Amino acid sequence: MSDTSLQAPGAGTIPGKVTASRKGTRTRRRFRPNGSALVMGLYLLFLMLPIYWLVNMSLKTNAEILGAFSLWPRELTFANYTKILTDASWYMGYVNSLIYVVMNTVISLAVALPAAYAFSRYSFMGDKHLFFWLLTNRMAPPAVFALPFFQLYSSVGLFDTHIAVALAHTLFNVPLAVWILEGFMRGVPREIDETAYIDGYSFGRFFVRIFMPLVASGIGVTAFFCFMFSWVELLLSRTLTSVDAKPIAATMTRTVSASGLDWGVLAAAGVLTIVPGALVIYFVRNYIAKGFALGRV
Amino acid sequence: MTLRLDGVSRIVGGQVHIHPTTLELQNGTMNVLLGPTLAGKTTLMRIMAGLDVPDTGRILWNDKDVTGMRVQDRKVAMVYQQFINYPSMSVYENIASPMKLMGQSASQIKTRVHEVADMLKLTPMLDRKPLELSGGQQQRCALARALVKNAGLVLLDEPLANLDYKLREELRQEIPRIFEESGSIFVYATTEPEEALLLGGNVATLSEGRITQFGPTPRVYRHPVDTITARVFSDPPMNFVDLRKDANGMSFGGGAVVAVPDTLRDLPDGRYTAGFRPNHITLNPREGAQPLEFDTKLAVTEITGSETFLHLDHHGERWVGLVHGVRDLKQGQGLKVYVDPAHLYIFAPDGALVATAPYAEAA
């Protein structure tokens, strides 16, 4: 049997010498720019540019920042970072922020977990309205609540405390947390609950031992959203604090000294502010899409 | 030990899911709830388990009223149609969890779990997570969890429905053997009459939230009390035809008047519904018998391999016939089919049984 007999019918009729020209095609392809890589490259470039510029600035001296245009630091310096990490008025900003952010995340989750469970498992009078009504709290900008919160917390002596900011942020985080968690919980078959009760689990034990591990990714995503909102929110946290619980974002906006803006230190503070968020995102990166869809993927 | 349902009913949102039902299940018996989907099998089981509270009636467990008792305090076990395990625990922990909650010692738990795992061929998978197992193994894990508990009442809600054919056959044979020794009350819900017959024990046929008949499985099969039971407990469903008997003879549906066979001689004149099972339709009458002959038209044939389903049209009534072997028949052709009068059940127009088929009486 000859080689040609193995060809598929019609293979010989393709115009042009397909096999002979293959070598030429291959050499040409090497120079052809890959369209998707190009677009992605440009996208990443624009995405990373501000962050790069921030890092770039944080490693320069003030003189260089205000001087000539330079793509990378000519005189590499870590003095800006040293200043932040040694000066209490700077690093306490991070500590304060972290304290109220963690407090807020814990409170939001502790409140939202049972609420979401109830919404996902029971039907009671007005449950759908209540579920929707939860979201209305998110429809107003935080600025609306700045004044009432300020007055309320001042009058009960909570002004300038971490718990004040944490509580203020739960107003926005609890509804979102309930929505996200409810979506995740709905995905768990009700029969698991019943099987657990039949097996003899009490509700509390079932919830902690069996149910929470099942919605662990949902809890992670919810914690992320709570963390992120609280971490980046500036208006309420600045209004409700003065000295003792002053968040880092507020510190950054108040660094105009007699000698003008300290560009390098501000940039370093900016870099350090990005880090916790980036870390948290890294841990929940696989579930974020589901979280944005409120667990309903 | 007995489980007694005393006038139990359940109404959800104005719709009656279970009509008042009284049922007594004896210790160490296999009880099959047989009925089509939405017949109320699961609802009845949930009431027995205590997951749902009946709207009326009482549940008596050894003559003790347990109607409002928490699920956790009852000694029941349940296996669902879906494979329900605790995904975050290993198979071992899954099986061990009911025992742990009962406060048994670690060594006791270990022996028992291994014993049950051995019985259900789960020993090599004990360290794995349930979701890493095949469907059949997941369901066996759920069965094992129901078994270790030594519950007085074990509820199996269509446990094999989501399994593929071969696994189903395998587990179906194992289940009665596994549960035989435990001496508990077993309740097994299924939609398949075949499964009920294979499991034996007692059967309760359900239709639209009502138990139509309860008794030993072969007896219910042979002596259905009404047309509903006969229809439920036959796959494909029993064929029915109007029967009119008078002085001249008898006629079936729109068919001609024929002579009354010996077996129906004692039947008073009047109108009835005659029923016969699909497997009693034949294409060739047996020698020496005097079968009833029906002129039908073949609507559809379904060939399963060793058997052929014939969908027949008898003067507007749809019948199903089950005959052996592969038949080469044309759609739409006229077909003479035969039914031995000994295979005929006679029901009154309201559905109640008037005369059992003589063949069943003899068996």
Considering the four listed CATH numbers 3.40.50.10800, 1.10.150.120, 3.40.50.300, 1.10.3720.10, the one that applies to the domain covering A87-292 is 1.10.3720.10
Report pLDDT for A104: 95
Q: Who contacts A294 (Cβ-Cβ below 8 Å, separation ≥6)?
A: A179, A180, A182, A183
Chain A residue numbers touching B142 (CB-CB < 8 A): 195
**How far is residue B59 CA from its own chain's centroid?**
23
For chain A, give every domain's residue range: 33-77, 87-292
Superfamily of domain covering B2-225: P-loop containing nucleotide triphosphate hydrolases (3.40.50.300)
Report pLDDT for A15: 55
Among A17-31, A81-95, A275-289, which range has the highest average pLDDT? A81-95
Nearest CA in chain A to B149: A199
Q: ipTM of this predicted complex?
A: 0.81
- Average pLDDT estimate for A23-48: 77
Mean of per-residue pLDDT scores for chain A? 83
Identity of the residue numbered A48: M
Could you tell me which of A182, A271, A261 has the C-alpha nearest to residue A221? Answer: A182
Report pLDDT for B204: 93
Q: Give the DSSP letter string of B188-233.
A: EEES-HHHHHHH-SEEEEEETTEEEEEEEHHHHHHS-SBHHHHHHT
Residue A249 CA to residue A233 CA, distance in Å, equals 9
| Structure-token match 């979506």, residue found | A183
- Average pLDDT estimate for A2-28: 51
Place A16 in a pLDDT band, splitting at 50, 70 and 90.
low
Q: Who contacts B341 (Cβ-Cβ below 8 Å, separation ≥6)?
A: B261, B262, B263, B264, B290, B291, B292, B358
Would you say residue B19 has pLDDT above 50?
yes
Interface touch B51/A192, C-beta < 8 Å: no
Residue B141 CA to residue B158 CA, distance in Å, equals 15
Longest CA span, chain B: 80
Contact (Cβ atoms closer than 8 angstroms) between residue B153 and residue B27: no
Contact (Cβ atoms closer than 8 angstroms) between residue B48 and residue B3: yes
Would you say residue B223 has pLDDT above 60?
yes
Would you say residue A162 has pLDDT above 70?
yes
Could you tell me which of A165, A129, A135 has the C-alpha nearest to residue A150? Answer: A165
Sign of CA dihedral A214, A217, A220, A226: negative
Min Cα distance A197 → chain B (Å) is: 5
How many CB atoms neighbour CB B196 within 10 A? Answer: 26
Report pLDDT for B257: 80
Interface touch A195/B84, C-beta < 8 Å: yes
Min Cα distance B74 → chain A (Å) is: 8
Interface touch A199/B149, C-beta < 8 Å: yes
Report pLDDT for B109: 92
How many CB atoms neighbour CB B331 within 10 A? Answer: 10
- CA geometry: angle A126, A128, A132, nearest 5 deg: 115
Chain B residue numbers touching A194 (CB-CB < 8 A): 49, 51, 71, 78
H/E segment holding residue A109 = helix A88-121
Which of A225-239, A241-255, B206-220 has the least mean pLDDT? A241-255
Would you say residue A21 has pLDDT above 70?
no
Report pLDDT for A259: 62
Report pLDDT for B363: 63
Report pLDDT for A30: 63
| Structure-token match 């007699």, residue found | A258
Interface touch B78/A192, C-beta < 8 Å: no
Interface touch B87/A195, C-beta < 8 Å: no
For chain B, give the percent of residues with pLDDT over 70. Answer: 98
B317-349, pLDDT tens digit by residue? 889 998 888 877 888 888 888 888 888 899 998
Query: Is the CATH number 2.40.50.140 carried by domain B239-362?
Result: yes
Would you say residue B302 has pLDDT above 50?
yes
Name the strands in the sheet holding B153-157, side by side, starting at the edge strand that comes first in the sequence. Answer: B76-79, B153-157, B185-190, B30-34, B202-207, B210-216
Report pLDDT for A31: 66
Pairing of strands B334-339, B292-303: antiparallel
Nearest CA in chain B to A199: B98
Tokens of A22: 């293959």
Q: What is the dihedral of CA A62, A65, A66, A67, to 10 degrees?
A: 110
Report pLDDT for B189: 93
Q: Who contacts A174 (Cβ-Cβ below 8 Å, separation ≥6)?
A: A108, A111, A112, A115, A134
Min Cα distance B33 → chain A (Å) is: 20
Write the CA distances from B42 to B16, B26, B36, B225, integer angstroms: 14, 20, 11, 23
Pairing of strands B257-258, B270-276: unpaired
Would you say residue B23 has pLDDT above 70?
yes
Identity of the residue numbered A102: V
Residue B18 CA to residue B9 CA, distance in Å, equals 5
Contact (Cβ atoms closer than 8 angstroms) between residue A182 and residue A222: no
Residue A150 CA to residue A165 CA, distance in Å, equals 10
Report pLDDT for B325: 82
Between A34 and B233, the more confident residue is B233
Could you tell me which of A86, A250, A99 has the C-alpha nearest to residue A162? Answer: A99
Would you say residue B27 has pLDDT above 80?
yes
Min Cα distance B38 → chain A (Å) is: 18
Q: What is the dihedral of CA B187, B191, B193, B198, to 10 degrees?
A: -50
Backbone φ and ψ for B273, nearest 5 degrees, come out as: -115, 125
Report pLDDT for A249: 83
For chain A, give the percent of residues with pLDDT over 90. Answer: 31
Q: Which residues of A fall below an 8 Å CB-CB distance to B?
A: 189, 191-192, 194-202, 210, 213-214, 216
3-state SS track over A36-58: HHHHHHHHHHHHHHHHHHHHHHH
How many CB atoms neighbour CB A136 within 10 A? Answer: 9
Contact (Cβ atoms closer than 8 angstroms) between residue B271 and residue B242: yes
Interface touch B88/A191, C-beta < 8 Å: no
For chain B, give every domain's residue range: 2-225, 239-362
Mean of per-residue pLDDT scores for chain B? 87
Report pLDDT for A295: 61
H/E segment holding residue B252 = strand B249-252
Nearest CA in chain B to A194: B51
Q: Who contacts B121 (Cβ-Cβ below 8 Å, separation ≥6)?
A: B140
Asked whether the bond before B236 is cis by omega within 30 degrees of 0, the reply is yes
- Average pLDDT estimate for A75-99: 89
B163-180, pLDDT tens digit by residue? 788 878 888 887 777 777
Report pLDDT for A286: 80
Residue A101 CA to residue A54 CA, distance in Å, equals 24
| Structure-token match 């208006």, residue found | A235
Pairing of strands B2-12, B56-61: antiparallel
Residue B116 CA to residue B119 CA, distance in Å, equals 5
Report pLDDT for B329: 81
Residue B15 CA to residue B41 CA, distance in Å, equals 16
Report pLDDT for A106: 95
Residue B116 CA to residue B143 CA, distance in Å, equals 9
Q: Give the DSSP letter string of A181-250.
A: HHHHHHTS-HHHHHHHHHHT--HHHHIIIIIHHHTHHHHHHHHHHHHHHHHH--HHHHHT-SSTT--HHH
- Average pLDDT estimate for A119-137: 85
A179-199, pLDDT tens digit by residue? 889 989 998 999 999 999 999
- CA geometry: angle B199, B203, B206, nearest 5 deg: 125
B39-52, pLDDT tens digit by residue? 889 999 999 998 98
A247-289, pLDDT tens digit by residue? 888 888 766 665 667 888 888 998 998 888 888 888 888 877 7
